[in-house]
Structure 1
Amino acid sequence: MSERAEPLPRTAKRFDPMLYRLSCLLLLTLSQPVFAEDLELPDARGYLGSDTCISCHEQAGEDWRQSHHALAWTETSPENIVADFDGTSFHQGDMEARFSLSADGTPRISVTEIDGVTTEYPVHSVVGIEPLQQYVLETEPGRLQSFDVVWDTEQERWFHLYPESDYPPDDSLHWSGVYKNWNGRCAACHATGFTANYDSETRSYASTQVEIGVGCEACHGPGAAHVKWVESLETTQTPPPAAYGFPVDMSDPAAAIDQCGTCHSRREHFYDGNPPPGLPFNDAYNIVPLHAGLYEADGQILDEVYVYGSFLQSKMYAEGVSCNDCHLPHEATLKADGNAVCAQCHSPAGNPRFPDLPLKVFDGPEHTHHPKGSDGAMCKNCHMVERVYMGNDWRADHSFRIPRPDLFPVTGAPDACSTCHADKTAKWAADQIAEWFPDSDKRGPHYGEIIAAGRRDPHAATPQLETLATAQDQPGLVRATALWLLDNTSDPAVAEEMVKLFDDPDPLVRAAAARLQRRTGPEARAENLPDLLDDPVRAVRMSAAQAMLTGQPGRMDAVAMADLRAALGEWQASVQSRLDFPETHLQLGGTALVNRNLPAAASAFAEAARLDPQQVDAWVMQARIALAQGDQQTAIRVLQEGADANPGAITIQEMLMDLTGGAGSLLPPGK
């Protein structure tokens, strides 16, 4: 928090609320920034490319070249493509994809869509290497899309990532739609020094990157300062700078985890493409809490959440274990085979870095209660339950949890035991574990029980959620989830009570507590939030600023107002980096409505519907705004367009029938 010499009284120098309102509305209509300086965007300054690094670090480069990082995104060449493009084909319903090579050897994909239209695309680039390989197509200049028919490298066959889908080309979930866009949704984690460069006026991309693939500088940061120091050694023995000149010190466990988390997480980004290297995670992203549909109630992975969120729940993370303790950083593989990875610490020898570990045999039948060498004796099969994503890719939960089948009646979450023993019940598994470990202290209350209750009825679970939110011995992501569930109660008294978390050491908790303040009155927000507007963490500052959008800034002193302007500027810049996302415009529309700026809200919802025609709420909100302005004809037109895009949307159909007296559209065709 910045120093505030001689703070002004809360009533002094009242800020003009009309000017503040105008500033907010300008922000919401996405004009040029009116608050603070723009965020520094990543660019190629200081990047040298992996070949420069490897010219000195040959062994590291050799290890890296065949890694999944290096092959995360590659050029189209015979040595990079493993699929069969020799006249093969794939059918799903009325869709057909044919794979061939042109005369010059360029791989091509000819797609006949379910509407009968056939288009041929040269393969733009290649994604991944195993257990599947995907291909990127350029559908218009600069716009890259990830094709849904991919190659199974294990069974050597084509398959569809979404075998139950049957989307027409105008559906947003079609491979050519907004959610499969490579520039905005994928490329930042498959490239080095990437910037999407989306133009919201032309709705086009001019993306750039230092190199495709996760290169040396994607993890270490630009190498120019490092090379400059090395070159100085030719004339003088200059002491090495911090981290040898790199922005990221990968030998620092916390820095390494943050850097790995930039890609291995389900999050909302603040920057266009890659953030400035070395930036702490919460200065570059908002991590998604344990939302239903993404995580089981007990925090296990459900949807694709990319490891980081589950790792934050683990005791290993709390004790200082980092990614590099288990994974070789350049090869991006495990440090040892099988249980030997875990036995680095969990063994009679232990590990001096973690003196509290019990020194006993874990890799043996006395602990596993399964024959040595069997699947049940593998540490990961009990403590890192795997799920299949993208059709054939097994991903492990990284919360390293102890199996708790006894929680199933409350959480409904699966457990390692009955997942493997599919013919058995969770109760059977719970009884078996109780028999094996009768004196265990690991079967007490679990936060999953509270989260499950909060998902069912946050009002009834409020006391439990408040206790969980303030429990310092629980993971920050879990506590932030409890605060997010409390937000669903809309109770201002609960929000006021959680002000005490503004000093919490975990930024995830502070940010969630700030968001919760939207449930308080404008005066309370102006009183409570100023101290978070200059929090050292960007995610916290932005959350506080968003909560202040409908506050009473006139009650804030000049220093707090300056902090508010700066934080709103950061939020604006982050929004501008996501204008190709329909969900961004839904957020902007909702915020504009709160500020009673109906034109800005209508514009935002219209853009959301244009980017994703299946966003039913975007059509409905446009119609409601038109009706609020007395424009029934526009409301009918919008609803008719929404009905054409969503024939089965009951909400749209009912509104349209109400407005037309059951006659359907009253507008002439094409109007």
Structure 2
Amino acid sequence: MNLVVLLPCYLALLLVSLSLFSIANATEFADCQSCHRQQYQDWLSSDHRQAMQPANRTTVKGDFNNAHATHYQLSAHFSQKDDEYWATLSKQGLAEEHSQINQAEQAQHYQFAYTFGHYPLQQYLVKTANGKMQVFPFAWDSRAAEQGGQRWFHIYQEAIGEQITEQDRLHWLQPLQNWNGMCADCHSDGFQRNYNASKNRFDSKWQADNVGCQSCHAGYQQPHPQVNRQVQAKVQSNDSISSKGVGSWQRNQLPTAQWQGAARTEGDMWNCFACHSLRTPLTDGFSANEHFLNQFSPSLLNAPLYHADGQIKEEVYVMGSFLQSKMYHQGVQCVDCHNPHSGKVKIDGNGLCLQCHSPQVFNSKTHHGHSDNSQGAQCVNCHMPTTTYMGVDARRDHSFKVPNPELAKQFDTPLACLTCHPKQNADWAQIKIASWQANGALDGIDGINGIDGKAGSINGFQKAAKHQLAFDYASFIAGKASHPERLARLLDDPQLPAIQKASLLAQIPYLTQSLPGNWLARYLQHESPLIRIAAANLGSLLSAPDKQRYMLPVLADQFKAVRIAALSSLMGTDIPAAYAKQYAQVFNELSSAQAQVAWRGEGRVNIAQRQLAVGQTEQAINQLTQAIAIDPYFEASYINLADIYRNLVKVSEEVNIYQQGLSTLPKSATLHYAMALSWVRQQQYRQALNSLAKATQLAPNEAQYHYTYALALEKVAGRPAALSYVQQALVSLPQSALLKNLEQYFL
């Protein structure tokens, strides 16, 4: 089973009912600030404090003075009634025969209950039926006017170059845009979604409207035991927390600082990752007292979330980037750069990096190749380029990569140089960097990501090895390499971060249909839990005896995310009596985890797959039927349900489900292709050709669709016509091995 990964919070929604949510008493911040005054003051200036707040004159930033905004045919009007903030949505361009009365009936009015964030944009929450709350499709750009801000804009205005209609899964009334399931746990304290799957209803509760003390310091909502006045005075003066006797970063004349003192633990950083990561929830709500991997299953660095070299692409937040960085592997943690209570960087500009990196080596033209104080001389512009999400929110990549023009050329990955030089290309950047190096500039460029932290310490052989490692990794992630020995070398390379090795393991199902258990065993027992999770997800590629031998022991792993991955691959396997109790316990953990995402199609499909694996066919049919009802624009529900009917030899029901899906999603290439395969199995080749023609039109770069079309065409029109079609397809897809092999077969 593949647990669904929660997507970015591009939310938006509708107010049908003003019934109040059941909200627990807010955390008494006064209990904390009485002793932790400076931390409280820092928090007051943080984004966390304004993550979510009741909509009122103090919190609302948008223009509600009869302001207007449009997006294609959608028009929004914003107004204020006393202390209430309202928006009216209507459609423009109605047919001329529609009267003004009809146009008025088309308008829908929504009251905003909460603000959601504050800068660089502010979104607004409205309530809907069944305890749901979602985010309105128009957001307020809260940047300064000279930066293009102080305006209303549609959240998908720049990301998607077309209108989001009511028949689109990204429409603001669909489950993907649901606040309770998508974003609430990271925008409020002590959140529990409390979803009732049978009623498709939420009874969500939370302790505080914003992100406060409890999100990071769980269990301290009650007053601490009494402390004497001397201790309390130290806490108030911030003297109680000191690096003395703990450790600190020391440069000691080296180009890059080294950690001196007691070994650091990562517990607090995993607390940050609970929200600053793309992950699947395993529990309803989370606690800072529990490890991340007992509450979430993290996403890896695979497409389409990341570029082939590991740079961010989709809205993946920070964890995946940072865990692949040399910073992380040298022991750097979030709090080294960020004030943990304000969230802000400790020092603006290059001073932040120069806490640990020698200014003589790294803050000079001999390193960065640009004029002092220019944009090109700023560390973050080369090593932390931005990607803009939600139209206006530019976020920095935390993998701290060195710009690599050759990788950019071969794998179409972003190149930081072109951010400031958009009219140039990777060839230009490669020539520029080579000329700087020839003139003695960029000394120590590898040192910033160096093996031992000393600038200039990497010789030519090591540089070549580093380049080859990056190239080989990107080749497998991009699907351009498949040699098993090359993959084995990568997985054994000590310089490759664990999260990248886990991401490589996730590619294996695309390379082979079976694995020897003794090969996988070493990764199932690896010290890195991320690698163990990725390895456990490969259990389905083992033979039945190997599953019993190698996967059953993983059910006792210390982390829930690993145990659940192992159990998913054991579905349908005979379980010896010695493991029956452990299997039952993890099965319950899996069931509970799947229930957390049952409010959307992916969750229901996962539940149905589990039910099928244990022989509960009727329950699986019911689950998929509900999936279609609550999330009708999720194509996998139709395909999985039709597949059950195919296995039951109920051809009529199978065809009906595909036709139902296509009536809802007429532009789904996947559904047209699945329908075509059904016609092929029924030997209805002409009907199959019609469906395949639509699939290839909608997804012209999908070689498998052209391959199947050619085989069906051979049945209808003969081999010459099929050969001609394949050769035409190869003009557009010249690198397709699948089509090349079919051409040779026809020849």
TM class by shorter chain equals 0.7 to 0.9
Check the 8 A contact 2:282/2:593 in 1, yes or no.
yes
Check the 8 A contact 2:605/2:640 in 1, yes or no.
no
Which amino acid is the alignment partner of residue 319 of structure 1? Q
**Is 1:159 aligned with 2:181?**
no
Deviations 1:481-540 (A, max 9, x none): 110001323442355412112221100001111111210111111011232111112211
Q: From 279, 284, 294, give the equivalent of 1:272.
A: 284
Residue 353 of structure 1 corresponds to none
Cα distance in 2 between the residues matched to 1:232 and 1:346: 41
Residue 515 of structure 2 corresponds to 493
CA drift of 1:44 comes to: 10
**Is 1:212 aligned with 2:209?**
yes
Residue 51 of structure 2 corresponds to 72
Quickly say closer, same or farther: Cα 1:653–1:376, change in 2 above 3 A: closer
CA drift of 1:47 comes to: 8.5
Check the 8 A contact 2:24/2:206 in 1, yes or no.
no
Cα distance in 2 between the residues matched to 1:128 and 1:95: 24
Residue 481 of structure 1 corresponds to 503
Residue 340 of structure 1 corresponds to 351
Residue 135 of structure 2 corresponds to 146
Which amino acid is the alignment partner of residue 183 of structure 1? N
Quickly say closer, same or farther: Cα 1:47–1:547, change in 2 above 3 A: farther
Return 5+ residue gaps in structure 2 as ranges.
2-21, 95-102, 144-148, 241-245, 249-263, 447-457, 691-747
Which residues in structure 2 correspond to 1:198-597 (within 5 Å)?
198-224=195-221, 227-229=223-225, 231=226, 233=228, 254-273=266-285, 275-347=286-358, 360-437=360-437, 441=458, 442=463, 444-457=466-479, 460-493=482-515, 496-554=518-576, 558=578, 560-595=579-614, 597=616
Cα distance in 2 between the residues matched to 1:388 and 1:579: 30
Deviations 1:346-377 (A, max 9, x none): 016xxxxxxxxxxx431122211111111000
SS of residue paired to 1:120: strand
Cα distance in 2 between the residues matched to 1:433 and 1:495: 46
Check the 8 A contact 1:49/1:217 in 2, yes or no.
no
Q: From 79, 104, 111, give the equivalent of 1:122.
A: 111
**Is 1:182 aligned with 2:179?**
yes
Deviations 1:297-337 (A, max 9, x none): 01000111101110000111111111110011121111011
Deviations 1:519-576 (A, max 9, x none): 011111101123211111221111111121132313xx51x33222222221121112
Which amino acid is the alignment partner of residue 514 of structure 1? A
Of 72-81 and 426-435, more deviation after overlay is shown by: 426-435
Check the 8 A contact 2:193/2:203 in 1, yes or no.
yes
Cα distance in 2 between the residues matched to 1:494 and 1:423: 50
Residue 11 of structure 2 corresponds to none
CA drift of 1:75 comes to: 0.8
Cα distance in 2 between the residues matched to 1:45 and 1:213: 13
Cα distance in 2 between the residues matched to 1:327 and 1:236: 26
SS of residue paired to 1:169: coil
SS of residue paired to 1:474: coil
Residue 721 of structure 2 corresponds to none
Which amino acid is the alignment partner of residue 136 of structure 2? F
CA drift of 1:120 comes to: 0.6
Quickly say closer, same or farther: Cα 1:73–1:536, change in 2 above 3 A: same
Deviations 1:241-270 (A, max 9, x none): xxx9xxxx9x96512210110001011111
Quickly say closer, same or farther: Cα 1:113–1:218, change in 2 above 3 A: farther
Cα distance in 1 between the residues matched to 2:213 and 2:49: 9
Deviations 1:598-625 (A, max 9, x none): 3233233323322321222321332232
CA drift of 1:411 comes to: 2.5
Quickly say closer, same or farther: Cα 1:192–1:165, change in 2 above 3 A: farther
CA drift of 1:236 comes to: 12
Q: From 658, 681, 690, give the equivalent of 1:639.
A: 658
SS of residue paired to 1:276: coil
CA drift of 1:383 comes to: 0.5
Return 5+ residue gaps in structure 1 as ranges.
1-23, 25-42, 349-359, 665-671
Quickly say closer, same or farther: Cα 1:234–1:329, change in 2 above 3 A: closer
Q: TM-score, normalised by structure 2?
A: 0.74
Cα distance in 2 between the residues matched to 1:650 and 1:522: 35
Quickly say closer, same or farther: Cα 1:401–1:90, change in 2 above 3 A: same
Quickly say closer, same or farther: Cα 1:204–1:495, change in 2 above 3 A: same
Of 524-533 and 176-185, more deviation after overlay is shown by: 524-533
CA drift of 1:398 comes to: 0.3
CA drift of 1:583 comes to: 1.2
Q: TM-score, normalised by structure 1?
A: 0.82
Residue 57 of structure 1 corresponds to 36
**Is 1:111 aligned with 2:133?**
no
Deviations 1:439-464 (A, max 9, x none): 86445335442343324547723332
Check the 8 A contact 2:475/2:481 in 1, yes or no.
no
Cα distance in 1 between the residues matched to 2:549 and 2:332: 40
Which amino acid is the alignment partner of residue 132 of structure 2? R
CA drift of 1:468 comes to: 2.1
Q: From 614, 624, 631, give the equivalent of 1:605.
A: 624
Check the 8 A contact 1:471/1:479 in 2, yes or no.
no
CA drift of 1:73 comes to: 0.5
Residue 453 of structure 2 corresponds to none
If asked which structure has higher relative contact order (CA below 8 Å, sep 6+), I would say 1
Which residues in structure 2 correspond to 1:646-657 (within 5 Å)?
646-649=665-668, 652=671, 655=675
**Is 1:134 aligned with 2:112?**
no
Cα distance in 2 between the residues matched to 1:234 and 1:383: 47
Which amino acid is the alignment partner of residue 536 of structure 2? A
Cα distance in 2 between the residues matched to 1:544 and 1:144: 35
Cα distance in 1 between the residues matched to 2:604 and 2:541: 22
Quickly say closer, same or farther: Cα 1:45–1:80, change in 2 above 3 A: closer
Root-mean-square deviation (Å):
3.1
Quickly say closer, same or farther: Cα 1:235–1:338, change in 2 above 3 A: closer
Quickly say closer, same or farther: Cα 1:61–1:422, change in 2 above 3 A: same
Check the 8 A contact 1:486/1:494 in 2, yes or no.
no
Cα distance in 2 between the residues matched to 1:379 and 1:322: 18
Cα distance in 1 between the residues matched to 2:123 and 2:23: 27
CA drift of 1:638 comes to: 2.6
Of 625-634 and 92-101, more deviation after overlay is shown by: 625-634
Quickly say closer, same or farther: Cα 1:343–1:448, change in 2 above 3 A: same
CA drift of 1:378 comes to: 0.3
Check the 8 A contact 2:26/2:209 in 1, yes or no.
no
Check the 8 A contact 1:86/1:99 in 2, yes or no.
yes
CA drift of 1:197 comes to: 0.8
Check the 8 A contact 2:308/2:478 in 1, yes or no.
no
SS of residue paired to 1:361: helix
